[in-house]
Each structure stands twice: as structure tokens, then as C-alpha cells.
A and B are shown apart, each in its own frame.
Chain A
Amino acid sequence: DQQVKQNSPSLSVQEGRISILNCDYTNSMFDYFLWYKKYPAEGPTFLISISSIKDKNEDGRFTVFLNKSAKHLSLHIVPSQPGDSAVYFCAASVSGANNLFFGTGTRLTVIP
């Protein structure tokens, strides 16, 4: 049972444009959400997170938006750069728990 879903396996975007990666979740107990970036043959690296008390968190070119009523979050990358080409995983957790539930990932390709 996949509690965190990323329905787009891949996304291609031109350099300089906005990349929008989407994530949906089913467990209403989730209150902390994270995005990870993964290059081939490397482990995931933490990118940005958001708590359920906020609806937006920004860090440089990366912004995460959370819509709790829709159980949906998105990651915006502006402007997109070729170095952003990677697989992006959405993850969610319940405060105080040790488990992160991951989505299946979206492969982003930024075309120069």
C-alpha cells in the first residue's frame, strides 16, 4: 500500500524554465514532508522539507508547497538548471516516528 505517490515517473523541462514535481499522500497523520534528490549510483540527498503547520517553504531556487486539504505537495525549481537532472523523491513522516514513507520518484531531465 503506497501511502506516498508520485504519479509522474518522468519530467522534461527546458533550462531556465520552472520544474514542478508533484506528490500525493493518503495518510492524514503525516505532518512532516521532505524532498530528496538522487543522482545515479549515489544515495539520496536531502533537499528541502516542510512541516504541516506551514503551506510553503523556500530555499533558494527550491520551493515546496503543501495543500493539506488535498493531501498534495509540490516542489518548484526555478530556474531549472541541467545539474538539477536527477530523480526526486517525496517522503512523509509522522512526528515522533522513525519511519519515512517514500514515493516512487520522478526523474527530472533539464534540457540545455
Chain B
Amino acid sequence: NAGVTQTPKFRILKIGQSMTLQCTQDMNHNYMYWYRQDPGMGLKLIYYSVGAGITDKGEVPNGYNVSRSTTEDFPLRLELAAPSQTSVYFCASSYSRGGLGGFGPGTRLTVL
């Protein structure tokens, strides 16, 4: 099992650009999550999904969108990148609520 994989590992965006962060898990987990970690801070939940076709907002959803068309994939979309979105983004999956499963290795995003 590859677990949770994320692409890309690094990305630099200009203000106003858009991009999609990819997340795939091969553990057949229903629950998937996107967290962001700002320097010196804890992880904060952006969006989560409890199954294909079902998504909901977390603590810091503004500026992001998600979709969940399959069990395996949970992409995170940034429509108009802003410097405040400079962060490390982690995707996670779990067989139950709360993110007890695995985290991906993260995507380090810089918006200039």
C-alpha cells in the first residue's frame, strides 16, 4: 500500500493564480481531510469528506474548494491564490472520524 500520496511536493504560485493539490489514498478509507500548517502553528482543518460525493467545511475553508468523486481521490482547489495561503498542506484519510489514519507527506506552497 502506498498509503496517502500528495502531488506536487512543492509549488510556487503568483498572486491570483489557481492550482489543484492532488491527494490519493489506497486504503479504501471513507474519511478524507485537508489540513494546512502555517509556520509555528498547529494543523488546521480546511475541508473534509465522509465519502464519495460528500464534503464539508472545516475550520479554515475560505479560498479553497474540494470535490470527492471517488473514494480514492480528494483534490483541493485554490482559485485565486493569496500570500495568506502560503503554507504546508497535508491530506489525511481515516477509516473513522477524526483522522486516525495516515497523513500524506505534504505539499509546500508559496504564494508570491
Taking Cβ atoms with an 8 Å cutoff, the residues of A that contact B are 2, 4, 32, 34, 36, 41-46, 49, 89, 91, 93, 96-105
Known: A96-B97, A99-B58. A44 touches B43 (CB 8 A): yes
Among the 9-residue stretches B14-22, B70-78, B102-110, the one with 4 or more Cβ atoms under 8 Å from chain A is B102-110
B100 touches A49 (CB 8 A): yes
Q: How far is the CA of A36 from the CA of B59 in the complex (A)?
A: 20
Chain A residues near B40 (CB, 8 Å)? 104
Taking Cβ atoms with an 8 Å cutoff, the residues of B that contact A are 4, 31, 33, 35, 40-45, 48, 50, 56, 58-59, 90, 92, 97-106
Chain B residues near A102 (CB, 8 Å)? 35, 42-44
Chain B residues near A103 (CB, 8 Å)? 42
Query: Smallest Cβ distance from B107 to chain A, in angstroms?
Result: 10
B102 touches A100 (CB 8 A): no
Q: How far is the CA of A44 from the CA of B40 in the complex (A)?
A: 15
